[in-house]
Amino acid sequence: MNAIALSPDSRAPWVRDFALVGGLTGFLAPYGVLHYVQYSMAAGLGGALSGAVLGAFSSWLVSGFGRRWPKVAFLPLGLSIGAVWGSAAALATVVTPARDQLSLSVLFAGAAGALQLGWFWLAYCYRRVNRRTTWGLVLVASLLGGGLGFAGFGALALLAMLH
Using the predicted structure, report yes or no on whether residue 90 has a pLDDT greater than 80.
yes
User: Can you tell me the mean pLDDT for 88-92?
Assistant: 91
Residue 52 lies in a domain: yes
Q: What is the reported pTM?
A: 0.84
Which of 19-23, 78-82, 141-145, 158-162 comes out lowest in average pLDDT? 158-162
Using CA atoms, how far apart are residues 6 and 4, in angstroms rounded to an integer?
A: 5
Residue 90 lies in a domain: yes
User: Of residues 55 and 34, which shows the higher confidence score?
Assistant: 55
Q: How many domains does the chain have?
A: 1
Using CA atoms, how far apart are residues 41 and 56, in angstroms rounded to an integer?
A: 23
Residue 129 lies in a domain: yes
- Residues 26 and 45: beta-carbon distance below 8 Å: yes
Q: What pLDDT score was predicted for residue 155? A: 65
- Residues 116 and 82: beta-carbon distance below 8 Å: yes
% pLDDT > 90, the chain: 32
Please name which of 108, 110, 105, 89 lies closest in space to residue 21, comparing C-alpha atoms: 89
Helix (H, G, I), strand (E, B) or coil at 163: coil
pLDDT band at 68 (very low <50, low <70, confident <90, very high): confident
Residue 1 lies in a domain: no
> What average pLDDT does the structure give for the chain?
84
Using the predicted structure, report yes or no on whether residue 35 has a pLDDT greater than 90.
no
Residue 152 lies in a domain: yes
Residue 3 lies in a domain: no
pLDDT band at 7 (very low <50, low <70, confident <90, very high): low
- Residues 27 and 154: beta-carbon distance below 8 Å: no
Range of the domain at 37: 8-162
Using CA atoms, how far apart are residues 55 and 34, in angstroms rounded to an integer?
A: 28
Residue 92 lies in a domain: yes
pLDDT tens-digit readout, 111-156? 888 888 888 888 898 888 888 999 999 999 988 888 887 776 676 6
Residue 109 lies in a domain: yes
- Nearest-10 crossing angle of helices 102-129, 11-34: 140
pLDDT tens-digit readout, 102-112? 888 888 888 88
pLDDT band at 69 (very low <50, low <70, confident <90, very high): confident
